[in-house]
Chain A
Amino acid sequence: MSTVIDVAGLVKTFGSTRALDGLDLEVAAGEVHGFLGPNGAGKSTTIRVLLGLLRADAGRATVFGGDPWYDAVGLHRRLAYVPGDVSLWPNLTGGEVIDVLARVRGGLNDRRRAELLERFELDPSKRGRTYSKGNRQKVALVAALASDAELLLLDEPTSGLDPLMEAVFQQVITEVKTEGRTVLLSSHILAEVEALCDRVSIIRAGRAVQTGTLTDLRYLTRTAIDAQTARPADDLAILPGVHDLRVDGNRVRFDVDGDRLDETMRSLAAYGIQTLTSAPPSLEELFLRHYGDELTDEKLATAEASR
């Protein structure tokens, strides 16, 4: 499996702000890679370095094996970009902007352009000033998706789309994936990440804190257990990895770390399980944990070791 984007130890500072602080990121050919992190984590900065719009201070960043700062034009023929904040020329129409952007990249597929305009229900005869945020985003999306680019760099492309359009977007990206193209998708829409992404990287304060499949990441968080036992399961609290234990007669509720699930269930079985519901961590919990400060180095180390 070849690597399309390879970033290691990337540093980018703006004055005293350290936007990227030793970032690592690897995106393999043909995958849809989720790029997550709280606001200001450095997602847009990373993408702009990958586009050669910003120059890295230290570290390595390659796209298709090339240096984005020096080989910008050549690399850009092979990729398409949707900025997070789409700003259109006020007096050009959406259709004109799509054509201009496509021309600058090296052409677009006319049939695909028409099809995408229809699917995204975008009126290309309106002028830039009169588009809403979502429609401006659609202009940039149609321009990028109508191309035959091998790599799509999408910076929060759906933050202004309505749920219907969100569904269209997910369909289109699924098609892109079956065509074998590569996507780096920065997003806060967790359902979208879950539906589309093969792997995700979570960054915080300019550093990658976690990379892996969603299953890998789930493993790092807690599963909620709610069980009826034959005897009160009072002693579970002493087990490592069990949190927030509430014993209410024969009913027991607690959260358990992903890596302690197996041994905890064995201990629980000793009390005689009569009913059992387990809730896997929701994506929200998953991200809240990763976005917040809870994740310790020790956990990261265990996760690395167990993979």
Chain B
Amino acid sequence: MTTLAGTWPMARLVLRRNRVWFAVWLTALVALPVLGVPSLDALYPTQADIDTYARTAGSSPAAVAMNGPGHAVHTLGGIVVFEMGGYVAIAVALMNVFAVGRNTRAEEELGRVELIRSNAVGRHATLAGCLLVVFAADVVLGTAVAAGMVAFGLPSAGSAAFGASLTAIGVVFAALTALTAQVSEYARGAYAIAGAAVGASYVVRAAGDTGDGTFSWLSPIGWAQATRPFADSRWWPLLIPAGAAVLLVAAAVLVESRRDHGAGVVRPRPGSVTASRGLLNQVGFTLRLQRGGLIGWSIGVFLGGLAFGSVARETQDMMAENPGVRELFDPSGRLGLTDLFLGMVLLMLAMAIAGYVVASTLRMRAEEYAGHAEPLLAGALSRRRWTLSRLAVPAAAAVALLALAGLGVGIAHAVLTDDPMEVPRLVGAAVAHTPAVWLLAGIAMLLFGVTPRAAPLTWLVLAGSVVASLLGSVFRFPGWLVDLSPFERTPQLPGGDLTATPLVVMAVLAIALAAAGVSGFRRRDLATSG
């Protein structure tokens, strides 16, 4: 197997270059579910509390749509899986998508793989070395989660099944990204396809879990959840992700054996010999660079909204007698349960959109580091105009994507309730998340403008805000800490009162941070290649 020659040194290289990266991701992904055990234990200390939970939140279609099937919600372990498993699954999948993409196609795009391949290193060594490390990281993740849960007193069979289900999710999405990184010529394309698959897996299993369950068998997250941790803890469903991973890796290897180095599957077609009018303006230019992503996200959030919007009405049947659970979502106790669920859907979509908006803002950093800012700024383009046109796109995209998400949820709900007014109501509720999303973009701009090297810290701010909002009550974070999350500052909509003050404050703060970032960027050296 000469095509695999050098796999081991490649694996060591991946490990060496990503040790901090893996350490951060693994720590967070192990800590989330493991620390959920004592937190939820404190929330539901007696079996009576747990039984109440099982009858209420644990069996509501809304919660099932968000979290997955509640196979064992009459046990503490089952509640942990039910409350956190869905989110952790998405995070594990994303870690694997990024881990594989950044070490394969991204490196190839930068020309670094070429340097390596010219040595006694086989064609598949980079891919194989990367997968070796990433699969190992998934095994470490699953083992650590299982061990941590056992350490907090949960049964070992269920803990092991849950840990293994996370490993399985990771392995499948790593294998999938191995393939998309071969197919797409650009790392961004590889992330986009694999990321869309993660979103689709989540939505498809939500449809399955709230229906008769068939659809869940089409989703890798569904396969993992079919292990039913803490219920009967089945192992055989893991054969499906294992088989899928083998097929996906085989397909990746096949594509890599046939394609040219540096190329994707589709040959680039010749393009226009002159620039269109749109391209000549900096906002149009930025839009053009981000076109693919924007289109994908528009479709994704709309379909996601439709899918989750369609299960909302079933939540009207939901029982609401457990004050503890209700308090999780609605401390004021004034909202209808349907609106609570719709608000939750919109919040999750807003969080995903914030991810896109932060990424879009941080494109400035990538552009600068790639040397793309230099020739433009050497023209009669001020740094202010360069940044403002690149901020305009994520700022406008935030509004547009939120509106599209609201439209999806609204249309689905309007059809189910036969009330067309649901559409504007939900679009409005979705767009109310704009200031929170902008605030994160403002933080990204500030960091980029002042110290570009620190700009990726925005991702930690976003991750912290997401965890605080979604799991703050599980972990019983102090109120002030949860309130730091911009998502918590957005009024509870639909259903709640639209209070303008926090929205205005966040919007102003976002603009101020962005302005400080722009001013910082005007004062500093441009990052240049040696």
Binding site for B on A (CB under 8 A): 44, 48, 51, 53-55, 72-74, 76-77, 81, 83, 85-87, 89-93, 95-101, 103-106, 123-127, 129-130, 140, 143, 153
Contacts of B235 in A (CB 8 A): none
CA distance A81 to B377 in the complex (A): 10
A90 to B109, CA, bound (A): 9
Judging by beta carbons under 8 Å apart, are A99 and B376 in contact?
no
Residue pair B380, A106 in contact (C-beta under 8 Å): yes
List the B residue with the shortest CB-CB distance to A105: B379
B526 touches A104 (CB 8 A): no
| Chain A neighbourhood of B288, CB < 8 A | 92
Could you say which residues of chain A place their CB within 8 Å of the CB of B525? 53-55
Please name the residue on chain B nearest to A127 by beta carbon.
Answer: B268
Judged by a CB distance under 8 angstroms, whether B478 is at the interface is no
Distance A99 CA – B276 CA, assembled complex (angstroms): 9
Using Cβ atoms and an 8 Å threshold, which residues of chain B touch A48? Answer: 374, 526, 528
Contact of A95 among B268, B273, B280, B529 (CB under 8 A): B273
Interface centre among A55, A77, A91, A126 (most CB of B within 10 A): A91
Bound-complex Cα distance A77 to B289 (A):
25
Instruction: Judge whether B186 is part of the interface by a CB distance below 8 angstroms.
Output: yes
Closest to B282 in A: A104
- Add 13 more A-B contacts to A85-B529, A93-B271, A101-B376 (CB < 8 A): A44-B528, A53-B525, A72-B382, A72-B383, A83-B374, A87-B529, A90-B109, A96-B271, A97-B275, A99-B279, A100-B285, A106-B380, A124-B273
Q: Which of A73, A74, A103, A130 has the most CB of B within 10 A?
A: A103
In angstroms, how far is the closest chain A Cβ from the Cβ of B152? 47
One of A73, A93, A130 near B381 (C-beta < 8 A):
A73
Quote the shortest CB–CB distance from B388 to chain A (angstroms): 14
Evaluate whether A100 and B372 lie within 8 angstroms (CB atoms) in the complex, with A81-B378, A124-B273 already known. no
Q: How far is the CA of A247 from the CA of B370 in the complex (A)?
A: 59
Which residue of chain A has its CB nearest to the CB of B381? A104
CB contact between A76 and one of B370, B371, B380 (< 8 Å): that residue: B380
Q: Is B243 an interface residue (CB 8 A)?
A: no
Residues of B within 8 A of A126 (CB): 268, 270-271
| CA–CA, A95 and B274, complex, Å | 5
Are A100 and B279 in contact, with the CB atoms below 8 A?
Answer: yes
Chain B residues with CB under 8 Å of A81's CB are 375, 378
Q: What's the least CB distance linking A89 to chain B, in Å?
A: 6
Closest approach, in angstroms, between the C-beta of B275 and any C-beta of chain A?
Answer: 3
Most buried by A among B268, B276, B376, B529: B268
The answer to whether B371 and A83 touch across the interface, beta carbons within 8 angstroms, is yes
* B289-A89 in contact (CB<8A): yes
* A73 to B43 alpha-carbon distance, docked (Å): 61
Task: Kindly state the separation between the CA atoms of A81 and B276 in the bound complex, as whole angstroms.
Answer: 23
Name B189's closest neighbour in chain A (CB-CB): A91
Decide yes or no: A129 and B185 within 8 Å by CB, A93-B271, A140-B375 being known contacts: yes
A130–B371 touching, CB < 8 Å: no
On whether A51 and B273 interact (CB within 8 A), knowing A83-B371, A89-B289, A99-B279, the answer reads: no
In this complex, what residue of B is CB-closest to A143? B375
Residue B272 lies at the interface, judged by CB distance under 8 Å to chain A: yes
Once the chains bind, are B526 and A105 in contact (CB under 8 Å)? no
Q: How far is the CB of A51 from chain B (nearest CB, A)?
A: 5
A93 near B371 (CB under 8 angstroms)?
A: no
Contact A99–B285 (Cβ < 8 Å): no
Of residues 300 to 348 in B, which have CB atoms within 8 Å of A's CB atoms? none
Q: B385 → chain A, closest Cβ, in Å?
A: 9
Asked if A104 meets B271 with Cβ closer than 8 Å, knowing A48-B526, A53-B525, A54-B528, the reply is: no
Chain A hits for B272, CB < 8 A: 93, 95-96, 125
Give Cα distance in the complex from A126 to B273, angstroms: 8
Whether the Cβ atoms of A53 and B268 lie closer than 8 Å is no
- Contact pick for B268, options A96, A124, A130, CB 8 Å: A130
Please report the total number of B residues contacting A with Cβ < 8 Å: 37
Contacts of A153 in B (CB 8 A): 378
What is the bound-complex CA distance between A85 and B527, given in angstroms? 13
Contact: A100 with B271, CB < 8 Å?
no
Q: Which residues of A contact B270 (CB under 8 A)?
A: 93, 123, 125-127
Q: List 28 A-B contacts (CB under 8 A).
A: A51-B378, A81-B375, A81-B378, A83-B374, A87-B371, A87-B529, A93-B270, A93-B273, A95-B275, A96-B271, A96-B279, A99-B275, A100-B280, A101-B375, A101-B376, A103-B280, A104-B282, A123-B270, A124-B274, A125-B271, A125-B272, A125-B273, A126-B271, A127-B268, A130-B268, A140-B375, A143-B375, A153-B378
Identify which of residues 149-208 in chain B touch chain A, using a CB-to-CB cut-off of 8 Å.
185-186
- Which among A53, A91, A99, A143 is the interface contact of B280 at CB below 8 angstroms? A99
Which residues of the other chain, A, contact B381 by a CB distance below 8 angstroms?
Answer: 73, 76, 104
- Residue-wise interface mask of B (360-390) relative to A, using a CB-CB cutoff of 8 A (1 in contact, 0 not): 0000000000111011111111110000000
Q: Which residues of A contact B383 (CB under 8 A)?
A: 72
Q: Of the candidates A44, A53, A98, A106, which one forms a contact with B377 in the assembled complex, judged by CB atoms under 8 Å apart? A: A53
| Alpha-carbon distance A152/B25, docked complex (angstroms) | 48
- Known contacts: A95-B274, A125-B271. The answer to whether A101 contacts B379 by CB under 8 A is yes
Q: Which chain B residues border A129 with CB–CB below 8 Å?
A: 185, 262, 268
For B262, B378, B524, the residue with the greatest tally of chain A CB atoms inside 10 Å of its CB is B378
Q: Is the CB of B380 within 8 A of A104?
A: yes
Given the complex of chains A and B, what is the CA–CA distance between A73 and B379 in angstroms? 7
Nearest 10 A/B pairs, CB to CB = A104-B379, A99-B275, A95-B273, A87-B371, A125-B270, A93-B271, A105-B379, A81-B378, A96-B275, A53-B526
Cα-based distance from A17 to B370 in the complex (angstroms): 22
* Residues of chain B within 8 A of A127, CB atoms compared: 268, 270-271
Residues of A within 8 A of B285 (CB): 100
CB-CB under 8 A from A99, the residues of chain B are 274-275, 279-280
Q: How far is the CB of B289 from chain A (nearest CB, A)?
A: 7
Complex: A77 Cα to B380 Cα, angstroms: 5
User: What chain B residues lie within 8 Å of A51 (beta carbons)?
Assistant: 377-378
Interfacial chain B residues near A105, Cβ < 8 Å = 379-380
Residue from B272, B380, B525 whose CB has the most chain A CB atoms within 10 Å: B380
- How far apart sit A96 and B524, CA to CA, in the bound complex (Å)? 29
CA distance A87 to B526 in the complex (A): 15
Instruction: Give the distance in Å from the alpha carbon of A97 to the alpha carbon of B380 in the complex.
Output: 15
Q: Provided the pairs A124-B273, A130-B268 are in contact, do residues A87 and B372 lie with their beta carbons within 8 angstroms?
A: yes
**Neighbouring B residues of A74 by C-beta, 8 Å:** 380
Which residues of A lie under 8 Å from residue B378 when comparing CB positions? 51, 53, 76, 81, 83, 153
The interface residues of chain A lying within 8 Å CB-to-CB of B371 are 83, 85-87
- Complex Cα distance, B285 from A98, in Å, reads 13
Q: How far is the CB of A35 from chain B (nearest CB, A)?
A: 16
Task: Compute how far the CA of A130 lies from the CA of B261 in the bound complex, rounded to whole angstroms.
Answer: 12
Bound together, the chains give a CA A140 to CA B378 distance in angstroms of 12
Shortest beta-carbon distance from A76 to chain B in Å: 4
Q: Tell me the smallest distance from the CB of A286 to a CB of chain B, in Å.
A: 27
Q: Which residue of B lies closest to A50 (CB)?
A: B378
- Residue from the list A44, A53, A100, A125 in contact with B275, Cβ < 8 A: A100
Q: Which of B369-413 contact A (CB under 8 A)?
A: 370-372, 374-383
B271 & A89 in contact (Cβ 8 Å cutoff)? no
In the assembled complex, the Cα of A98 lies from the Cα of B274 at a distance in Å of 8
Question: Which B residues are CB-close (under 8 A) to A54?
Answer: 525-526, 528
A93 to B525, CA, bound (A): 29
Once the chains are docked, how many angstroms separate the CA of A90 from the CA of B329?
Answer: 46
Contact with A along B504-530 (1 / 0, CB 8 A): 000000000000000000011110110
Chain B residue nearest to A54 (CB atoms) is: B525
Shortest beta-carbon distance from B4 to chain A in Å: 27
